[in-house]
Structure 1
Amino acid sequence: MTVLLLGADRLGNICDKLQLEGTEKIIHWSGRCSSCKHRCLPKNIGKIIIFCDFINHPTMENVKKQAKKNNIPIVYCKRSLANLSVLTAN
């Protein structure tokens, strides 16, 4: 599965955790740049993880709208491995 990580400047060991859980490809958008609010989602995204502490609102709204249109699940969390582990366990 391909996962889009949205938000956060640095991911630390979050990518390692996702790969251990079977994620094949990870795409990261910082979510702070003004051009992010106009980006189209890449094809074949299986899940979107939004780090709410590190993203601007126009970008989040753009991604939410596209995800809903394409039936892509979104997980909202803080940028912490413990929080992510609990939320992505499903």
Structure 2
Amino acid sequence: MASLLVVGADHLGHITDKLERSGFREIIHLNGRKVNMVKRDIPEHVDAILVMIDYVNHNLAKKVKEKAKSKDKPIYFAKRSWSSINAVLEQLEKHA
């Protein structure tokens, strides 16, 4: 995987480093705090989308899911804990 769009969470902290060690070359982060985030489009070069479910509202999660589906991009949902994210990464590897 080359690039990952992470939606949610104010700060990713060490998660960015761990994602890079897992093989992602580019990590784009949208914190989802502002209302305008719902209007943002998914970049074409993004390979997968990860939504931090404990840091986004339902409307944003729904809109991101719709946009991912329309662009045929895989979307995954996880809590902000590394164990939850790592479980998603294992799913990603199985489907790759």
Q: Same fold (TM over 0.5)?
A: yes
The 1-side partners of 2:84 and 2:42 are apart by: 24
TM-score by length of 2: 0.88
Residue segments in structure 1 that go unaligned for 5+ positions in a row: none
**1:43-54 alignment runs, 5 A limit:** 43-54=44-55
The 1-side partners of 2:65 and 2:33 are apart by: 16
Query: What residue in structure 2 maps to residue 64 of structure 1?
Result: 65
RMSD: 1.0
Instruction: Tell me which amino acid in the other structure corresponds to 1:23.
Output: F
TM-score by length of 1: 0.93
Say whether the 8 Å CA contact 1:75–1:88 is kept in structure 2. Answer: no
Which 4+ runs in 1 deviate beyond 6 A?
none
Instruction: Tell me which amino acid in the other structure corresponds to 1:70.
Output: K
1:5-49 deviation line (CA, Å, top 9, x unaligned): 000001111111110111010100011210101111112110100
The percentage of counterpart residues that share the same residue type is 34
Structure 1 residue 9 corresponds to structure 2 residue 10: yes
- Answer with 67-76 or 54-63: which moved more: 54-63
The 1-side partners of 2:45 and 2:36 are apart by: 21
The 1-side partners of 2:78 and 2:45 are apart by: 22
Higher relative contact order (CA 8 A, sep 6+): 1
The 2-side partners of 1:46 and 1:38 are apart by: 20
Query: What residue in structure 2 maps to residue 33 of structure 1?
Result: 34
**What's the secondary structure of 1:26's corresponding residue?**
strand
The 1-side partners of 2:59 and 2:79 are apart by: 18
